[in-house]
């Protein structure tokens, strides 16, 4: 008996967990599923809060950083990134 | 050669806002067939190894080896299918509108998505290409374009190019965005033969996974501007520079949703609440650059933050 980690990353519309999912990723340490880019059209949850209600444990959230002078309008990576996990019991 | 069909202002504004233009079946079948014939039309069942297949095409004269920095007009031999493609009035018009009459060839590449049997035979995991932005960090106001040419029908199971409309103005470092598997609003190219996708160099994209039993081809050409990108399109439909700002937020009925301001401030499904607004600012800045009009604004987004009376 062993535990394996499933990781889900949700990208939300704001820093609040109860706002809409705009992007998502899923990495399955059990090997039961093989997820990859572009494999799903609809988010698994409408909001981050819905993921909590379904048993996902939040373990990391992106910080809110001040905007550097002269760099206020530059955009890069998705801003509101939340890492969730589930520990799943396996036979391995 | 027929006169190029330049883009109009709404098409250009849409490119600025969304980072792509799509022309379905714009390349006639004579060119598509000639291009595929040059590749050799090898049946997928007769290919032993993916690398060997690439090697065979690279060793042929199907696609020329061209030095980076070559003028686009000198990149392909006369009478070749790729020359004929670039000489199509709609294609030439799009290229001239976006990067000018002296476009510079950067590179080209034939992308082949192989069916599952190839991966199974070699014991390799078949996986969709991660999301990425081509080249490297590129903070220019000027932009390159990438022509993506699909010479045959692309069905949903063939895993056509996946891309994210509106992502092109984000400054990221190539594969650093690979973590993002799915983003609301992402599109997968499913198209008839002869379709051309014209992309801003910054668009986030990746190849889909080919679950069919046929090879999928996509030929990409990257082009750089050879001149300042200033009003290169058909500007006859541009509204006058002194066109007043439209009402915002409290708009009343009958707001024009087809004008330049509406196009530049149309959100994408993946926009975050706050940075979606910054996307508008960055689009307006790019539109100013293309218009060469530092006073242009859409829905007051830049005027508001630039208003510092002295």
Tell me: the pLDDT tens digits for B204-229?
999 999 999 999 999 999 999 999 99
CA distance B24 to B32: 13
* A54 min Cα distance to partner chain B (Å): 20
Instruction: Compute the radius of gyration of chain A from its Cα atoms.
Output: 15
Render B30-53 in DSSP notation, one character per residue. HHHHHHHHHHT---GGG---HHHH
Q: Which residue has the higher pLDDT, B42 or A86?
A: A86
| A73 confidence band (pLDDT: 50, 70, 90) | very high
Tell me: the pLDDT tens digits for A6-33?
999 999 999 999 999 999 999 999 999 9
Q: Which of A9, A14, A24, A37 to mutate to test the interface with B (most CBs of B within 10 A)?
A: A37
- Torsion sign over Cα B252, B253, B256, B257: positive
- Average pLDDT of chain B, as a whole number: 95
CB atoms closer than 10 angstroms to residue A81: 18
Nearest to B127 among A19, A36, A77 (CB): A36
* B14 min Cα distance to partner chain A (Å): 19
- Check pLDDT > 80 for residue B104: yes
Quote the pLDDT of residue B44. Answer: 67
DSSP annotation of A57 = E
Mean of pLDDT values over B36-55: 80
List Cβ neighbours of B193 (8 Å cut-off, separation of 6 or more). B25, B27, B29, B32, B150, B151, B152, B153
Q: The tokens 């206020």 sit on which residue?
A: A72
Quote the pLDDT of residue B257. Answer: 81
List Cβ neighbours of B116 (8 Å cut-off, separation of 6 or more). B126, B210, B211
Q: E strands of B19-160, at which residues?
A: 20-23, 104-113, 145-150
Q: Do B182 and A11 touch (CB under 8 A)?
A: no
- Check pLDDT > 80 for residue B1: no
Q: Do A37 and B181 touch (CB under 8 A)?
A: yes
| B80 confidence band (pLDDT: 50, 70, 90) | very high
Quote the pLDDT of residue B105. Answer: 98
């Amino acid at each position: 008996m062993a535990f394996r980690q499933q990781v889900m990353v949700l990208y939300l519309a704001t820093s609040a967990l109860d706002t809409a999912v705009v992007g998502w990723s899923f990495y399955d340490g059990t090997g039961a599923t093989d997820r990859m880019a572009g494999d799903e059209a609809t988010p698994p949850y409408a909001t981050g809060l819905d993921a909590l209600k379904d048993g996902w444990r939040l373990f990391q959230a992106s910080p809110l950083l001040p905007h550097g002078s002269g760099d206020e309008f530059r955009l890069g990576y998705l801003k509101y990134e939340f890492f969730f996990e589930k520990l799943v019991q396996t036979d391995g | 050669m027929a006169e190029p069909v330049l883009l109009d202002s709404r098409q250009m504004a849409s490119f600025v806002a969304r980072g792509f233009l799509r022309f379905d079946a714009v390349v006639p079948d004579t060119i598509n067939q000639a291009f595929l014939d040059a590749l050799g039309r090898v049946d997928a069942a007769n290919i032993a190894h993916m690398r060997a297949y690439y090697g065979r095409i690279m060793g042929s004269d199907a696609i020329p080896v061209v030095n980076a920095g070559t003028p686009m007009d000198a990149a392909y031999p006369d009478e070749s299918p790729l020359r004929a493609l670039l000489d199509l009035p709609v294609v030439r018009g799009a290229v001239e509108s976006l990067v000018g009459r002296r476009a510079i060839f950067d590179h080209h590449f034939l992308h082949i998505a192989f069916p599952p049997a190839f991966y199974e035979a070699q014991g390799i995991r078949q996986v969709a290409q991660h999301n990425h932005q081509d080249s490297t960090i590129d903070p220019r106001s000027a932009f390159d374009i990438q022509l993506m040419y699909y010479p045959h029908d692309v069905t949903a199971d063939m895993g056509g190019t996946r891309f994210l409309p509106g992502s092109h103005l984000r400054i990221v470092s190539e594969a650093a965005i690979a973590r993002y598997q799915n983003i609301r609003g992402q599109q997968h190219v499913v198209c008839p033969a002869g379709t051309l996708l014209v992309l801003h160099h910054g668009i986030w994209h990746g190849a889909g996974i080919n679950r069919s039993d046929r090879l999928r081809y996509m030929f990409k050409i990257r082009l750089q501007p050879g001149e300042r990108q200033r009003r290169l399109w058909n500007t006859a439909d541009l509204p006058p520079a002194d066109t007043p700002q439209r009402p915002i937020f409290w708009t009343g009925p009958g707001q024009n949703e087809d004008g330049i301001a509406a196009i530049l401030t149309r959100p994408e499904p993946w926009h975050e609440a706050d940075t979606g607004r910054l996307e508008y600012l960055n689009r307006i800045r790019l539109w100013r650059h293309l218009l060469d009009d530092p006073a242009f604004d859409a829905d007051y987004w830049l005027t508001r933050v630039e208003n510092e009376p002295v």
